A and B are shown apart, each in its own frame.
Chain A
Amino acid sequence: MKITVAGEKKEYEDGISVAKLIELEKVETPQYVTVSINEEFVDSGAFESTIIKDGDEVEFLYFMGGGSR
């Protein structure tokens, strides 16, 4: 299947999960990554069960936060 990851066209085998894509894309510190597919955010608890489909646009975003204390 052909998908777009972070703006780049990529080709992966059919039926891979978000969790598998995170592994294949060698995403650093995945515990802090938010994933969106076609601009819909995927709950981190659903990374294993969410299957990527042909034509999907996937984005990995690092959580950005902090504090003053």
Chain B
Amino acid sequence: MKITLTGSDYNCILEYALKERPDEACGLIAGVDREDGVREIKKVYLLTNIDHTNEHFSIDPKEHLKSIKDMRANGLIPLGNWHSHPESPSRPSEEDKRLANDSKASYLILSLEDEDNPVLNAFHIEGPEGERSVRKEELEIL
């Protein structure tokens, strides 16, 4: 699957993730699944990591609920989430895989390991707990 993100939304994510360091930053992505098979992100949500650590994130459930309602009001569907890895590569950790409970979601991971060269990748994660398979999605920043 191909997934697109606007340059301005990418910059929003990056700036927020840099500001939140050393903690992991997180949020949601919303948009549309187009008929041509492209998953188009139309809005990103910058939400609170209630764990406030550099090794974990949990999205604030109240903000999560508010975001879902905002998506609905704007004709968008939830497409997945994003989070940063302040000190590690852009790939799902074992905990990321364990907690990837929505097989329809795209999971975006922004690595800030090299501050001058941030890396954003998108992943699809599915399968039963303990046997999750990970597939990298084609991400295009417009």
Q: Which residues of A contact B (CB under 8 A)?
A: 7, 28-29, 32, 34, 36, 39, 41, 59, 61-69
Q: How far, in whole Å, are A29 and B101 apart by their CA atoms in the complex? A: 7
Q: Is B133 an interface residue (CB 8 A)?
A: no
Evaluate contact between A66 and B83: CB separation under 8 angstroms: yes
A-B contact pairs, 13 of them (CB 8 A): A7-B72, A32-B99, A62-B101, A63-B61, A63-B101, A64-B26, A64-B81, A65-B58, A66-B83, A67-B57, A67-B93, A68-B88, A69-B55
Evaluate contact between B61 and A61: CB separation under 8 angstroms: yes
Residue of B nearest to A32 (CB): B101
Q: Which of A28, A41, A66 contacts B61 (CB 8 A)?
A: A41
Give the A-B pair count, Cβ closer than 8 A. Answer: 71
Evaluate contact between B102 and A62: CB separation under 8 angstroms: yes
Chain B residues touching A, majority SS: mixed
Interface residue total, chain B, C-beta cutoff 8 A = 33
**Complex interface residues of chain B between 18 and 75 (CB less than 8 A to chain A):** 24, 26, 28, 51, 54-59, 61-62, 64-65, 68-69, 72
Known pairs A69-B55, A69-B93; A64 contacts B64 (CB<8 A): yes
Q: Is B87 an interface residue (CB 8 A)?
A: yes
